[in-house]
A and B are shown apart, each in its own frame.
Chain A
Amino acid sequence: MTDPRFAPSDTPLGVDGVETAVFDGEAVLFQESAAMVHRLNAVAGAVWLLCDGETTVASMPEELAGVFGVPAGDLVEPIGEALDGLAAAGLLVGEPGPIHLPLVPEVPRAADGTPILVAPPDP
C-alpha cells in the first residue's frame, strides 16, 4: 500500500488561472496555462472548491458530509482520490502536473520555405 499523497494537516491550494463552472453534480475547469479542460465529478468538484490553501485535508470530509448527505467517514477515500487526481492534473500548487507536448504536425514546405496548406484527413 502506498502512502497517501496528502497528510491530514496539508492545506492544498489550487493553482491560479483556472476558470471553474459548477453544475448540479459536476464541475468543469479550464486551466489556461495548460490549455486543458477538466471535467470533475461531484466530489472532485467540491474538493476543488475547498483547495483554498486554508482548509485541511482532515477537515474536508466533515465539510462535505452535509453537502452530500453521507457520513464523513464515507468521504475520506473519495476525497483522497479526488486530491490525487487534482494533483496529477497539475491543478494544485506544488504538485507538478503532466508535461503537455502539443502534437504539432510537420508542415510540408515549398522549396523557398513557404508552408503548404494540407487537407485534413478524411472523416
Chain B
Amino acid sequence: MWADTVTLRVGDQLVGVRADTDCTAAVVRDTFAAWLEPTATGEQGEPIPWAFSLRLDPDESDLDRNRRGPKSVPQLRIGGILLARSRRPDDVVNALDHVLGGVLARQDDTRRWLGLRTFVARDRAVLVDAAPPALKADPRLARAGITELPTWSVAVDGDTVLVPPRLTAAADERREAPSTYALVGLVGLDACSHAAHADPGTGDAAHSPDRANDHDAVHHPTNPGALLARFAARHPSTEWFQTVERLVADGSIRVTTDRAVAAEQVRRLLASGDATG
C-alpha cells in the first residue's frame, strides 16, 4: 500500500507524486512546499491521480517487506518506468527535483524537447534511446566517469543539449541556468527477444551469426538512412533533422541490441576527440 499522494502545481500542470511512507510524503511536502496544491481535485471531485512514485523507505514500506533486490532500493518512477535509483534517498529526491524542473521547462514549447536519456561526461552528452532499467546506474559507465542526468527531457539547439534546472531552483533568486553540453552522438538500445533470432525449424535459440545478422538488418538496421529516419522522427523539425543528418555523416549514431555494446558505444562517443579518453 502507498501511504499518500502529494499534489504539486508545476507551471500550468498538476502533478501527483505518491509516496511509500508518511515520512516520504513529508519529505516531498518540505522540499516542494512552494508548489503544494493540497486542495486540488479532479473534475468529479476525485483525488488528483499520481504520475510519479517515490520510494525512499523500502525497509519500512509494506511494498517491499518481503522483497530484496533492485526494488528494495530507494527509487523514482513515472508510471512503471524507472527514472532514478540510488541507495542514497537524497539522490532520489534530487532526481525528482530535476524531473519536475523538466516538467516545468517542457511547457516552453518554443524549444525542441526530446524524450531521450542523457549521459554526460564533462561538457559532452550522448542522448540514448533505451527503455529503463537498461543502463541505469551502469557500473561500466560509472567507471568511465559517465553519469546519466536525472532529466525528464532535454532540449536540443543545434549541437547543444540544454538540461533544465531543478524545480526548486525556480524559486531561488539565483535561479540556475540550463546546463549545456555538446551533443556528440546518439545511441539506440533496442529491446529484443533472442527468440527472434532462433531457427524456426529447430527452435534453437543458439542463433547462428548469419541468422542474427539477417534479423538485425530487418529489425535493427544501422544503415545511414535507417538511422536518420529513426532519430529524426523523434522531433518534427528541420533543425533536428539537420542535426541528426550531421551525426549520421560523422558516424556518431549507433544502434544495438546488446546492453554491454551500448554502454561501450556511449563511452566511446563521449571519449571521441578526447586525447585522454
Residues of A within 8 A of B (CB): 17, 19, 21, 23-28, 30, 32, 35-37, 39, 108-112, 114-123
Contact = CB atoms under 8 A, between A and B. Distances in A.
Most A C-beta atoms less than 10 A away, residue of B78, B225, B226: B225
Nearest to A118: B51
Interface string B88-109: 0000000000000001000000
Given A21-B245, A28-B229, A117-B14, 15 more contacts: A21-B225, A23-B225, A37-B232, A39-B229, A109-B43, A111-B42, A114-B40, A115-B12, A116-B13, A116-B15, A119-B79, A119-B81, A120-B78, A121-B79, A123-B131
B9 A39 contact: no
B41 A23 contact: no
Contacts of B237: 32
B229 A119 contact: no
B221 to A, nearest CB: 10
A108 B42 CA distance: 8
A37 B274 CA distance: 34
B232 A28 contact: yes
B48 interface: yes
A46 B212 CA distance: 31
A116 B48 contact: yes
B238 A32 contact: yes
A30 B248 CA distance: 15
Contact of A110 (B14, B224, B245): B14
B273 interface: no
B236 interface: yes
A17 B78 CA distance: 37
B49 to A, nearest CB: 7
A21 B228 contact: yes
B48 A27 contact: no
10 nearest A-B residue pairs (beta carbon): A119-B79, A35-B236, A122-B80, A26-B225, A30-B241, A23-B224, A39-B229, A119-B51, A28-B228, A117-B15
Given A30-B232, A122-B80, A123-B81, A114 B225 contact: no
B169 interface: no
Contact of A27 (B80, B223, B225): B225
Interface in B237-260: 237-238, 241-242, 245, 248
B225 A122 contact: no
B81 A39 contact: no
Nearest to A107: B13
Interface in B17-70: 40-43, 45, 48-52
Given A108-B49, A109-B43, A114-B9, A122 B81 contact: yes
A119 B191 CA distance: 21
Interface string B175-218: 00000000000000001000000000000000000000000000
A19 B238 contact: yes
B226 A115 contact: no
Contact of B49 (A23, A118, A120): A118
A49 to B, nearest CB: 15
24 contacts: A21-B225, A21-B245, A21-B248, A23-B225, A24-B224, A27-B225, A28-B228, A30-B238, A36-B236, A37-B241, A39-B225, A39-B226, A108-B43, A108-B49, A109-B42, A110-B14, A111-B40, A111-B45, A114-B12, A119-B50, A119-B78, A120-B78, A121-B79, A122-B79
Contacts of A122: 79-81
Contacts of A121: 79
